[in-house]
Structure 1
Amino acid sequence: LPEEPRLQTSLYIEVGTRATARCRVAGVFPVAGEAWFSLSFGGESLNFTVTTSGDTATAQGEVRSPSPGQHQLTCTVTVGPVSRSAGQSVLVYRLPEPVLEVTESQTLVNSSVTVTCRSPEADPPGVLLQLREAERVLVSSAPAPGQPHVQFQLTAGEEDNGREFTCEARPGSDIPAVKRTSARLTVLYGPRMDDSGCPREWIWKEGTEQTFSCLSRGNPAPDVVCMKDGVPVSIGVQRQVSREDAGTYHCKASNAHGSASRDVTVQVEYLNILVLALGLAGAAAALTVLGVGGYLYYRSTRIRNYRLRQQQAKQAKQGKPAEQMSLNGAVQNKPELEHSV
């Protein structure tokens, strides 16, 4: 038995939990099966099993303690007349679940709310407390004995509805343990109607598919009723738009904490057949006038040109080349004729 046994177990065990303890010894001669073990925790013998592999023997048992404090784990191995022992100190601790208290888990808007995070008696004494919101630490305390606590106060607003707080407790020593408790805040308030949920004006085109929507914030969720000319209107239902949908809709939201009202105007754009017909008739008349005028202008110009050519031909036959009519009817005199005159 050339080596002392080696112990393997957790250095920290919470009250009421179990941990595995192993005692291993190597170099046993003549055979590992000749090794005899004794395993105890806090002065009490443990039940264990022994396995061998070559010249190595291992005893494995379960450690459990109902009371906090430092406890000694001891392993003794005997081969023939030779015995060797090893020991390890284990800290058994108590860390109760932290307590998270909210003055009113359901509170009215603008009410004062106090959130308290505290820890019952822990052993060893000295607990680090943190009151958190998601990844943000709101308030924390240094490790302190007794029943430490931390508090956070706020005035509940609509934006605080559903806000979740977490109370964290950690032992003041190097024990790698943490306990958490969470609570959610519910803020109650009356209906709120604005352009984001219920626009004041809709502009639709006749024949298209549209959905009339009017929503309201509030907790609990408000009931919204809209009416047009005293008739209830379906909200959130798609329908085909007609010009009769134009008008003012009166919407009201209500819950146990109040009510709110809002008027919504719907404009429907549609094609006016009469105006279109008159416009087309006017356009047609204008085109007709332009066509007739163009034709008359073209006809008169062609006739004038034709008569001018006839007059020029007649003068040429009568031996009067000196005067030629221009296309516009003016007389042009040749320079040499003007000189002779």
Structure 2
Amino acid sequence: MALGTARPALPALLALIGALLPASEAQVRLELSGRNLHPTVTHENDSLLATAHDKANMEEEGTHQLSCVVTLGHQSRSWRENVTIYSFPAPNLTLSEPEVSEQTVVTVECEAQAGALVMLSGGVPARLPGPRAQLQLNASAEDNGRIFFCSALLEVAGQVLRKNQTRELRVLYGPRLDKRDCLGNWTWQEGSQQTLTCQAWGNPVPELKCHRKGDNALLPIGDLRPVTREVAGTYLCQARSPRGEVTREVVVNVIYHRNYILTTILVTVAFTIGAAGLAAYFYNRQRKIQKYKLQKAQEAAAMKLNTPATPP
């Protein structure tokens, strides 16, 4: 069990005495409740520093008197102060199972020594003044990688001490391939620089492959530099892991430039030919109508000449 001291700190107690002449001849005695601590003394000019390292045990927990006596010649100076020896190990944070499948009930428990108060992650306090806090959750994919935080508080000699502990929960779940992570339709300009983003989620991480319908061509996930018309098509993206598989259909459209000059020429030629043909049609039709009318007029004149006149 970890032990400590509260004001002044042990096992590193410092006793600094100034204005000693000569400091090298001074004698220092450090005692903790009458027990000699065997200090190490260092000198610098007219001062000295005494340091004592002591390993306390559980039986010594509580308040003790620390005394420092410096003797030089026939004169002595002493200093006394109360110190508190305490035991405060880190809290114990446990998960009923550190790795679970979805929809498994997980119990999280935080426990500290008697007299301490604990706080579990999410602000779930223990019932005062209990040293335990507990919560349960139905594990979901969103809980994968969740960190639980347990904090223990202990008041010692008017000081509030804190120690923490953390644990991580791993949740196993099958592949996810949602619209927000893998769009169902991409439309790009040929020659442009694009990034095809299609992210599958799961624990363990699933393998993702997209194959085009028909020729089974593989669609590269990531950078397309540049985009070519050959990648256009409908693909089936499949995410697979030991916990299952899921498929999503995606469509890649590529807009590419056609030879508009040639198209314009062809349209112009077709229009010209059409217009010329239409003009010729109306011209020939008009000639036929005029010829027909002339013929009818000639026939009418001939009949009029051949008809005998009526006698008076």
The alignment's TM-score, normalised by the length of structure 2, stands at: 0.71
SS in 2 for 1:225: strand
Q: Which residue of 1 aligns with 2:102?
A: 109
Distance 1:76 1:244 in 2: 91
Distance 1:225 1:51, change over 3 A: closer
Contact 1:127-1:171 within 8 A present in 2 as well: yes
Match of residue 334 from structure 1: none
Offset of 1:223 from its aligned partner?
A: 0.7
Q: 1:253 aligns with which of 211, 220, 239?
A: 239
Q: Percent identity?
A: 33
Q: Distance in 2 between matches of 1:268 and 1:243?
A: 5
- Which deviates the most, 232-241 or 180-189? 232-241
| CA distance in structure 1 between the partners assigned to 2:192 and 2:166 by the alignment | 50
Match of 1:280 in 2: 265
Residue 254 of structure 2 corresponds to which residue in structure 1?
Answer: 268
**Partner letter of residue 127 of structure 1?**
A
**2:163 counterpart of 1:167:** no
- The residue that corresponds to 2:208 in the other structure is 224
In structure 2, how many angstroms separate the alpha carbons of the residues matched to 1:151 and 1:168? 13
User: Do the aligned partners of 1:111 and 1:155 also contact (CA within 8 Å) in 2?
Assistant: yes
**For 1:38, what is the secondary structure of its paired residue?**
strand
| Partner of residue 186 from structure 1, selected from 170, 176, 181 | 170
Deviates more, 1:232-241 or 1:60-69: 232-241
| Regions of 4+ moved over 6 Å | 30-34, 284-289
How many residues are paired up? 265
Change (3 A) 1:265 1:62: same
In 1, the alpha carbon distance for the partners of 2:74 and 2:223 equals 93
Q: Which residue of 1 aligns with 2:293?
A: none
Contact 2:127/2:133, CA 8 A, preserved across alignment? yes
- 1:12 CA drift (Å): 5.3
Deviation at 1:279, TM superposition (A): 3.7
Give 1:52-71 correspondences, 5 Å limit.
Answer: 58=48, 60-67=50-57, 68-71=61-64
> What secondary structure does 1:159 align onto?
helix
Unpaired runs of 5+ residues, structure 2, are 276-312
Q: Residues 105-184 of structure 1: matches in 2 within 5 Å? A: 105-119=98-112, 121=113, 125-132=114-121, 137-140=123-126, 142-144=128-130, 148-173=131-156, 174-184=158-168
- Provide the rounded CA distance (Å) in 1 between the counterparts of 2:96 and 2:239: 30
Paired with 1:95 and 1:165, the residues of 2 have a C-alpha distance of 21
With over 3 angstroms needed to count, the CA separation of the structure-2 counterparts of 1:199 and 1:79, relative to structure 1, is: closer
Contact 1:129–1:143, Cα closer than 8 Å, also in 2: no
Larger-Rg structure? 1
CA contact under 8 A between 1:41 and 1:73: conserved in structure 2? Answer: yes
Q: Which amino acid aligns with 1:199?
A: L
The 2-side partners of 1:230 and 1:278 are apart by 31
The alpha-carbon deviation at position 198 of structure 1 amounts to 1.4
Q: CA deviation at 1:215?
A: 2.0
CA distance in 2: counterparts of 1:193 and 1:247, whole angstroms: 19
Question: What's the C-alpha RMSD, in Å, of the aligned pairs?
Answer: 3.4
**Distance in 1 separating the partners of 2:177 and 2:117:** 45
TM-score (norm 1): 0.65
